Amino acid sequence: MALTTAPEQIDRIVGNYHHNPFDVLGPHRIQIDGKDVWTVRAYLPKAESAWVIMPDSRQAVSMTNEHHGDFFECILDVDDLASYQLRYEADGHEHVIYDPYAFRSPLVTEYDAHLFGEGNHHRIYEKLGAHPTTIDDVTGIYFAVWAPNARNVSILGDFNDWDGRQHQMNIGHGGIWGLFIPELTVGAHYKYEIKNHEGHIYEKSDPYGFQQEVRPKTASIVADLNSYGWQDDAWMEQRRHQEPLSQPISVYELHLGSWMHESSNNPALQPDGTESPVVTVADLKPGARFLTYRELADRLIPYIKELGFTHIELLPIAEHPFDGSWGYQVTGYYAATSRYGSPEDLMYFIDQCHQNGIGVLVDWVPGHFPKDGHGLAFFDGTHLYEHADPRKGEHKEWGTLVFNYGRNEVRNFLVANALFWFDKYHIDGIRVDAVASMLYLDYNRKSGEWVANEYGGRENIEAADCLRQTNHLLFSYYPGILSIAEESTSWPMVSWPTYVGGLGFNLKWNMGWMHDMLDYFSMDPWFRQFHQNNVTFSIWYAFSENFMLALSHDEVVHGKSNMIGKMPGDEWQKHANMRCLYTYMFMHPGKKTLFMGMEFGQWSEWNVWGDLEWHLLQYQPHKELKAFFEQLNTTYRSEPALYTQDFDQQGFEWIDCSDNRHSVVAFIRRAKDSDEFIVVVCNFTPQPHSHYRVGVPAKGYYREVFNSDAREFGGSNMGNLGGKWSEDWAYHNRAYSLDLTLPPLATVVFKLDPARTSSAALSGFV
């Protein structure tokens, strides 16, 4: 039979360097002797013989392989070839498949590619990646990957013996390669084989893949994220209608892999009873393994409810190759880490959190990515996701690469990724890691190691625009959520709306407050009188941004000691100092975040390879500290004055901030649209004070609603017998005052009791 295509075209297919295999393979309408006929061409490596099975008659028409032993062709004089199949023999076995090159309906349209090229395709993850779909009544998986500079791209998988010759992809609009593989199902393992124009081969995981193998393996896994049946409609509807900044927000930050482990004596099981593909942790005791997402739901959620936190914040759960990176060196931005189970398992965990009234925040890392060969680095044989110039494209200190935020498709990758976690996993917020590293071109770079922007400045304008676009879209699509910046500099308007020039976050970690307070509490109490400014300075700028007060994982690693180790004095004083600090933190304007282990006074630094020191809870001081947190969160959540005006100067008023001789401060917190207020007095020394007078704004009985020195918390149980009546003694420029007892190293909180005050007034006692 005469060839119906040029030999050089066949050679390019056989050599696996054709950029458009659809031009050669599959069905083609041609003319022979003036008559329209079909030719079907197939490249079937290792096949010994092949046939085309006609769709209606099931007749098998033999194919020939005259030009090359693996390239088959036949001529068919028929009108319709829809849904034909190929039958071939290889290695003594017969195979019947649908021809991938017979399906020419691309999932990625020209309009999709146009939006992606603009950086405005908000759901690009529904187009790129691997997606179960049906074309011409045949089910299968459609693959699409952006690799504009590749010479050719193939799909490797367990379904083709990882042979890149068998499923060569076709390049379409915008440098996007695509191919539909019929009858392939969810669960298939795959990678992309990418060749550059020099013929160098790169095997890459799918940048938009929804699941990856358990490390150290790196293949992507076809997953269906639309099959889980969510039960959190009430939570999602409530969230949509609330203003989070006027709600209590108390966040428990944790790393899922080191909160708690399980022994090998208790294997993890899937809902169907089969064993989960979770992995052991080599650096722990022999046989220890991670808890699964479902096991974490059973153990973590009751614990969080008992403590009273409103949210949990998960250190990055996107796929990462190295446990010791804590998740901050991401290779699979769209893949929930398989360490703890499947995507559906994570959905179940978040669903259960919502059904139990707990919000879920996730750390998001758009600032850098690692150089691992299977990841984004040098993806299509060029610097695709990163800058080519190392002065802009590399964090030398971290050994990572920087995204090219000025490239529309890269910005689209990141913006859509943030939207993805809210869309598919129903998360309630993100905490964006290392924002400062994104915003400054000279971040951790010496002179001559960075490139100025177009105006000669050090600001990364493209990164700032990327963050603005992300936040604008997040709040447009998902009102009621949180977007939190870990930003350690004085970049202006981080938590201001984008329409006034801000970056668009609605919260920013207050790194200045954290450093000031940890420096203050680490010093001997006698010296604190000389450093009163550490306590008071934060109020000077407290309302310039929407601040979150955070004592995070970064403060309990790398030789910094855990919180209890930072505190001076004997063991009792260490615990008292912590209770005083935490209470002051919860009374101070701003939302709150604490890292796991702080709630019961862990002594050791956080170790990503181990558990928290749960054994400490058998000892009374640690048990009492946990009870303290339960009551502190209860008090915080029950008093609107402590959270409704966190970001308004009307919500805070100093009573006295100048008593540095006693290291005492007193202030008022006021509720929004209400006359309610809270009086807070902090004694930062171990010296108790009796008859300490504090001015108050109203006459009446002030109930002591919280005392960090209470006996049930392990304190000395000094206090004010449940409350104090005001006296007509003008003090602190107020007409009334309280004569208080201030316990050592303690914060005491008072609230005017209108009912008791009114009752006493009617009886003539006041």
What single string gives the DSSP state of each residue in 488-511? -S--TTTTS-GGGT----SEEE-H
> What pLDDT is recorded for position 78?
86
Q: H/E element holding 626? A: helix 620-638
In the chain, pLDDT over 70 holds for what percent of residues? 95
CA pair distance 684, 578, nearest whole angstrom: 11
> What pLDDT is recorded for position 31?
86
Long-range contacts of 722-730 (CB under 8 A, 24+ apart): 723/750, 723/753, 724/750, 725/700, 725/701, 725/760, 725/766, 726/696, 726/698, 726/699, 726/700, 726/701, 726/702, 728/699, 729/693, 730/695
CA pair distance 708, 682, nearest whole angstrom: 10
> What pLDDT is recorded for position 284?
57
Amino acid of residue 280: T
> What pLDDT is recorded for position 765?
53
- Catalytic: which of 319, 344, 486, 709? 486
CATH class assigned to 110-204: mainly beta
Calculate the CA dihedral of residues 720, 725, 728, 734 and round it to 10 degrees. Answer: 70
Report whether pLDDT(591) > 80: yes
Report whether pLDDT(343) > 90: yes
pLDDT band at 322 (very low <50, low <70, confident <90, very high): very high
- 343: cis peptide before it, omega within 30°? no
CA pair distance 583, 594, nearest whole angstrom: 12
Quick one: average pLDDT of 182-193? 97
The domain at 7-98 falls in which architecture?
Sandwich (2.60)
Structure-token pair, residue 563: 């919180």
Helix then strand count (H, E) for the chain reads 16, 38
Residues 347-400 pLDDT 10s: 999 999 999 999 999 999 999 999 999 999 999 999 999 999 999 989 988 999
Residue 723, SS3? strand
DSSP state, residue 449: S
CA pair distance 203, 39, nearest whole angstrom: 33
Instruction: Among 308-312, 389-393, 413-417, name the one with the lowest average pLDDT.
Output: 389-393
Residues 703-732 pLDDT 10s: 999 999 999 999 999 999 999 999 999 999
Instruction: Among 240-244, 314-318, 362-366, 755-759, name the one with the lowest average pLDDT.
Output: 755-759
- Catalytic: which of 73, 344, 380, 433? 433
Enter the CATH code of domain 647-763: 2.60.40.1180
Report whether pLDDT(576) > 70: yes
Q: Would you say 17 and 152 are in contact if contact means Cβ atoms under 8 Å apart?
A: yes
Report whether pLDDT(501) > 80: yes
pLDDT band at 276 (very low <50, low <70, confident <90, very high): low
Q: Would you say 219 and 189 are in contact if contact means Cβ atoms under 8 Å apart?
A: yes
Residues 105-141 pLDDT 10s: 888 999 999 999 999 999 999 999 999 999 989 999 9
Report whether pLDDT(272) > 70: no
CA distances from 719 to 17, 35, 253, 723 (A): 81, 102, 32, 8
CA pair distance 186, 223, nearest whole angstrom: 5
Q: What b-and-e string marks burial along 76-90, b requiring 16 or more CB atoms within 10 Å of the CB?
A: eeeeebebbbbbbee
DSSP state, residue 665: E
Sort residue 692 into left (φ over 0), alpha (ψ -120 to 50) or beta: beta
CA pair distance 54, 56, nearest whole angstrom: 6
Note if the pTM is more than 0.85.
yes
- What does the domain layout of the chain look like in residue ranges? 7-98, 110-204, 647-763
Cite the DSSP H helix spans in 478-605: 511-522, 532-541, 563-566, 571-587
Q: Would you say 299 and 260 are in contact if contact means Cβ atoms under 8 Å apart?
A: yes
Q: What b-and-e string marks burial along 233-242, b requiring 16 or more CB atoms within 10 Å of the CB?
A: eebeeebeee
CA pair distance 474, 417, nearest whole angstrom: 11
110-204 matches 647-763 in fold? yes
Instruction: Among 78-82, 500-504, 517-521, 620-624, name the one with the lowest average pLDDT.
Output: 78-82
Q: Would you say 136 and 103 are in contact if contact means Cβ atoms under 8 Å apart?
A: yes
Residue 185, SS3? coil
Residue 199 class from Cβ within 10 Å (0-12 exposed, 13-18 middle, 19+ buried)?
Answer: exposed
Quick one: average pLDDT of 330-348? 97
Residue 409, SS3? helix
Q: Would you say 210 and 343 are in contact if contact means Cβ atoms under 8 Å apart?
A: yes
Q: Would you say 435 and 467 are in contact if contact means Cβ atoms under 8 Å apart?
A: yes
Secondary-structure percent of the chain, ordered helix, strand, coil, rounded to 5: 30, 25, 45
Q: Would you say 188 and 158 are in contact if contact means Cβ atoms under 8 Å apart?
A: yes
Specify whether 70 is catalytic.
Answer: no
pLDDT band at 263 (very low <50, low <70, confident <90, very high): confident
The larger pLDDT score, comparing residue 706 to residue 446, is at 706
CA pair distance 485, 482, nearest whole angstrom: 10
Specify whether 344 is catalytic.
Answer: no
In this structure, the number of other CB atoms found within 10 A of the CB of residue 435 comes to 26
